[in-house]
A and B are shown apart, each in its own frame.
Chain A
């Protein structure tokens, strides 16, 4: 059977499974809709958290980015896993004990203020929307590449699917479909990685194969470093970012991870505090399987790519090269007219390649914006994971499996985010502020309507991606780190923290972060657009600035809180209460 049939088959079977689960796990009450009834087992919740967390970006793009960034890519690996340590130790158990439905619930009650609640709702909406737009786009791209439909059609199919299981099941439906999606995505990621590891190093475990020897007896990483040096790249294991910037980005990603509302809310679904801790452990273990395999995939793919294309005749290249070139994700321009591919350090094109309709002497697609640098090859980072099985000549069913896995990753994350958005609207805004006397049925209806609206808006973003979305998705972490994270941690660990301190910290933190992002990413403020890295404050990239904004948030919160009156007795009692694990069961109903 060929790849196309396998793809339809595997995607079809996995989707049938998700729908079956969604129908089986329909939600009957707001409690089931928001927190799956609060009775999810720690392992199931760990799997759901892992699927929720690992998006299309983790599945498709991350290994590709690392493969081009080498050591610098470590910021994502450490940042997106180390955040779970903060989450497990500093947030999850206490928020579970607090026992309401959302992050704004906690902020609003702990800081006895609807202003604080509203600030939190706005932050949650900004963070979730920037994130979900990227997911819908990811769904569209995977559909279009594997099923040969337009990206727009892909996005619409994705919207319909997400809508069915989020609309019917709420958190309950999403949790159990995410469990299935975790299994699909991890299997789909591991199988090609194991195959390639055996092929290249003879080791069945990719994490060990990465440090293993290749056929001629040299270490794989040594060989890759040598290849890099020969072609004028910086050594793979060294990296180009400054130590401070790597530090700042890693910390911002960690704190941001721990502060993302769609991740935190997962810990409200387990029965008690003990299970909240346990499910954080499961979640990280299950995530770590992918996150320790990804850098191995990056090394395999990078080595394979260089060996397959460098100094080879264009006409002798394998089929996949031309397929991806036809999709516009690989571009080659024969600058020295020798018919061979020169792949060296430097940009082959100015910006993304622009293709003309013409074909060159070797049959390659002519690009109109080739640069004057020696490098002739442009490779889109996103194709490394998708093309890897083809480059390594794996069987058709493995290639098809990657499509099913990519879809599972994108859909599970999109569904989790959409739920946070709808909860923010129906619970934090309507129930808690606008119409407190709304019935459970009415609130459930409001939640379903807002999820519908959210899906449509996210779909529109996916079909017509505004230029800023791509730049902003990575910064969603900076925003979460600069706003929520300090407010929640201080709310638990600093009893003296009060309304004035937390609100001023959150507002200053998020505004500072937004300002820096816009100033250095878009050029909407100021004369120069966007400002060059030489102008960065203390050499901090916008991705790493969350660390600075977070520090400012903490300093301001602490100073302001010490200059204003202590929080009232009953709020201090809440803090005392959440610090003790027992008795979380009854706190669930409110």
Chain B
């Protein structure tokens, strides 16, 4: 079965979204919370050292936001390519 052009384009845009979202996912947790923690700890956010805050609070907030952004983007994408359902 040849793949319809529509499906191919839909998939390509989907991959693009995933790449961007996963880069952010990696940056806040593994980046800010682990690899650059010591550097960020020189700054503070209220009573938190910044790196510590990312590791125990910030990354989790960003994760939640990422999924909801993904839901929105995909709902729009589904509509654009006619794949949406009620």
Contacts and interface: CB of A to CB of B under 8 A. Distances in A.
Interface of A: 66, 71, 73-74, 77-78, 81-82, 84-85, 88-90, 93, 207-208, 210-213, 219-222, 237, 243, 246-247, 250-251, 272-274, 277-278, 280-281, 284-285, 288, 291-292, 295, 569, 573, 576, 579-582, 584-585
Given A221-B49, A579-B11, A250 B78 contact: no
Contacts, number: 137
A246 B14 CA distance: 31
A89 B55 contact: no
Given A221-B49, A243-B34, A81 B22 contact: no
A231 to B, nearest CB: 19
B64 A277 contact: no
Nearest to B11: A579
27 contacts: A74-B33, A74-B52, A74-B56, A77-B59, A78-B29, A82-B25, A82-B29, A88-B70, A89-B18, A211-B46, A211-B48, A246-B34, A250-B29, A274-B78, A274-B85, A281-B64, A281-B71, A291-B60, A292-B56, A292-B60, A569-B1, A576-B3, A579-B10, A579-B11, A580-B10, A581-B84, A584-B85
A284 B64 contact: yes
A222 B46 CA distance: 11
Given A89-B21, A295-B57, A580-B7, A81 B30 contact: no
Interface string B17-39: 01001100100011001110100
Contact of A250 (B30, B56, B57, B60): B30
Contacts of B74: 93, 274, 277, 581
Chain A to chain B: the 5 pairs with minimum beta-carbon distance, closest first: A219-B47, A74-B55, A211-B47, A211-B46, A582-B83
A245 to B, nearest CB: 10
Nearest to A213: B47
Contacts of A85: 21-22, 25, 63, 66-67
B39 to A, nearest CB: 12
B68 to A, nearest CB: 5
B78 A237 contact: no
Given A77-B55, A274-B78, A277-B74, A247 B63 contact: no
Contact of A243 (B1, B35, B60): B35
Contacts of B1: 569, 573, 576
Contacts of A82: 25, 29, 59, 63
A281 B46 CA distance: 28
A88 B67 contact: yes
B11 A71 contact: no
Name the residue among A78, A212, A274, A582 with the largest chain B CB count within 10 angstroms.
A78
Given A82-B29, A89-B18, A250-B34, A582 B59 contact: no
A210 B48 CA distance: 8
A367 B3 CA distance: 72
B64 A288 contact: yes
B57 A582 contact: no
Contacts of A281: 64, 67-68, 70-71
